Amino acid sequence: MEIIPAIDIIEGKCVRLTQGDYAQKKVYNKHPLEVAKKFEGAGLSRLHLVDLDGAKAGQVKNWKVLETIAGKTSLVIDFGGGIKKEDDVKIVFNSGAALATVGSIAVKDENELLRWFGIFGADKFLLGADVKDEKIAVSGWLETTDIWIDDFIEKYIKHGVKQLFCTDVSKDGKLEGPAVELYRNIVQKFPGLHFIASGGVSNMDDLYKLSDAGCKSAIIGKAIYEGRIRVEDLRFEI
């Protein structure tokens, strides 16, 4: 199982939120490039970069951070947060991202997302699914839809999506362990999907559980920054 470290950006700084709450913000490093280089130095090859300012504003804001990290590391970066228009997608790719991460638009404007798939290719997008009680949540997790996660995944696989990460919003940022059974069920139903677990990882044991559940990758953020997991321990695939 591949490990994907996360860097969340507010005002150009590396931060973490708890359950998506901007009021529960903690700054870990004022220089995201330093953090990215540490990940690269530990032998990790991917990075999950989230523009929290962009997510709040509804348009990409921290593309300069992306450009800097992409230009000064060899990390394969997926970038999300505020990608609402085609111009945002272009900025993300022009700034060096390998994948554009999209979430809410897949629920709120499917036709526009499919248009982007036609322009850039569906395989250039990493689809994010925030889930509460097995239903899709949007708008910073404030709104739960009536869309079941399985139906959501099935639809977008048919549209050509290859990679998807799923976050159980009740787990994220709380270091209480991931939603292993939810992820196990998804992997069993969609064996051809590159499924990425996200949220709740608190220690190495959680990673072994996710690997046993069949997850292809796992995104880790707070557990690294809080010292629960050493970057050096992530050097090899789990």
Q: How confident is the model at residue 139 (pLDDT cuts 50, 70, 90)?
A: low
In this structure, what is the dihedral angle of CA atoms 39, 17, 151, 114, given to the nearest 10 degrees? -70
Contact 28, 14 (CB under 8 A): yes
CATH number of 2-234: 3.20.20.70
- What mean pLDDT comes out for the span 179-183? 95
Q: Is the whole-model pTM more than 0.75?
A: yes
Range of lowest pLDDT (30-39, 66-75, 135-144, 153-162)? 135-144
238 exposure class (CB count in 10 Å sphere: 0-12, 13-18, 19+): middle
- What mean pLDDT comes out for the span 21-25? 81
Q: How confident is the model at residue 99 (pLDDT cuts 50, 70, 90)?
A: very high
8 catalytic, yes or no?
yes
Q: Which of residues 154 and 232 earns the better pLDDT score?
A: 154
pLDDT of residue 238: 58
Contact 16, 26 (CB under 8 A): yes
Write down the mean pLDDT value for the chain: 93
At 40, the amino acid letter reads E
**Over 80: is that where the pLDDT of 173 sits?**
no
pLDDT of residue 43: 93
Q: How confident is the model at residue 24 (pLDDT cuts 50, 70, 90)?
A: confident
d(CA 8, CA 30): 11
**Over 80: is that where the pLDDT of 171 sits?**
no
d(CA 141, CA 55): 12
DSSP codes of every residue in 150-192: HHHHHHHHHTT--EEEEEETTTTTS-S---HHHHHHHHHH-TT
109 catalytic, yes or no?
no
Catalytic residue chosen out of the listed positions 51, 78, 88, 130: 130
